[in-house]
Amino acid sequence: LVLPTHSQEQTPSHTCNHEMLVLSRLSNPDEALPILVEGYKKRIIRSTVAISEIMRSRILDDAEQLMYYTLLDTVLYDCWITQILFCASDAQFMELYSCQKLSDSIVTPLDVENSLLQKLSAKSLKISLTKRNKFQFRHREIVKSMQGVYHNHHNSVNQEQVLNVLFENSKQVLLGLKDMLKSDGQPTYLHLKIASYILCITNVKEPIKLKTFVENECKELVQFAQDTLKNFVQ
């Protein structure tokens, strides 16, 4: 996925030089990605929260879009995060949220050592991930439970029950999004947000429950996301 690198006016004063880069979460003080770096004479770094507030401000006049925008960033986001945290393997998780690739097997002592390091890295990254998008404030017990497990403390949260509730709520949101797909011309900010979530979910290699539901019951959303992506792929 490449951002535009050429402006319509091919002159030195109108050149465009935007890029997307893979960064470590530690490149940002609050360990949240993405971040937006802009400016030439003076660098301005906008956090994930700042980016979200800017995008949200552009749809404040449309109550329906604002409602779905909020549902995506709370209900669907929370379901996605819990599915990745608890239902995907560490290898799959690290492939999604780090630069590591999903390996088929462990066959050498070095592989064993690397797998142990991966487990430690996965634990650290999972805790860090709960701090994004205010997840830790909406689900304090989940975060507390995760920290307790990693420190051999008692786990008081019924994990399966929590995941089922989040999944059922997300199903309703996803089914309700179909009416938002009708659009003339360029996709709206909400359309891009819908597409980004669907692409994230369907790109998971392991058959987590959320992916299975989207692929089987939300085929229109999958096709919409793929069509939207084609507009931005060179």
What are the pLDDT digits (tens) for 187-216?
788 899 999 999 999 999 999 999 999 999
Average pLDDT over residues 148-159: 61
Question: What are the CA-CA distances from residue 167 to residues 2, 86, 106 (Å)?
Answer: 32, 13, 33
Of residues 179, 181, 176, 175, the one with CA closest to residue 218? 175
Q: Which pLDDT score is estimated for 155? A: 56
Question: Two tokens at 193?
Answer: 């947000």
Contact 102, 92 (CB under 8 A): yes
* pLDDT over 80 (residue 89): yes
Q: Which pLDDT score is estimated for 105? A: 47
Question: What are the CA-CA distances from residue 62 to residues 50, 100, 154, 197 (Å)?
Answer: 20, 40, 46, 21
Q: Which pLDDT score is estimated for 43? A: 81
**Containing H/E element for 14?**
none
DSSP character for 180?
G
Q: Which stretch of 8-12, 49-53, 101-105, 125-129 has the lowest confidence by average pLDDT? A: 8-12
Question: What are the CA-CA distances from residue 178 to residues 60, 143, 174 (Å)?
Answer: 21, 32, 7
pLDDT in tens, 1-50: 344 444 444 555 555 567 777 777 677 777 777 788 887 788 888 888 88
Average pLDDT over residues 84-108: 76
116 or 231: whose pLDDT is higher? 231
Peptide bond connecting 4 to the previous residue in cis, omega within 30 degrees of 0: no
* pLDDT over 50 (residue 112): no
d(CA 221, CA 72) in angstroms, rounded, equals: 14
Percent of the chain with pLDDT over 90: 37
72 or 22: whose pLDDT is higher? 72
Q: How confident is the model at residue 184 (pLDDT cuts 50, 70, 90)?
A: low
Q: Which stretch of 86-100, 129-143, 149-163 has the lowest confidence by average pLDDT? A: 149-163
Q: Which pLDDT score is estimated for 4? A: 47
The whole-chain average pLDDT of the chain stands at: 81
Q: Which pLDDT score is estimated for 179? A: 73
Question: Model-level pTM greater than 0.75?
Answer: yes
d(CA 205, CA 141) in angstroms, rounded, equals: 28
Of residues 201, 203, 191, the one with CA closest to residue 227? 191
Question: Two tokens at 72?
Answer: 């995506």
Q: Which pLDDT score is estimated for 165? A: 96
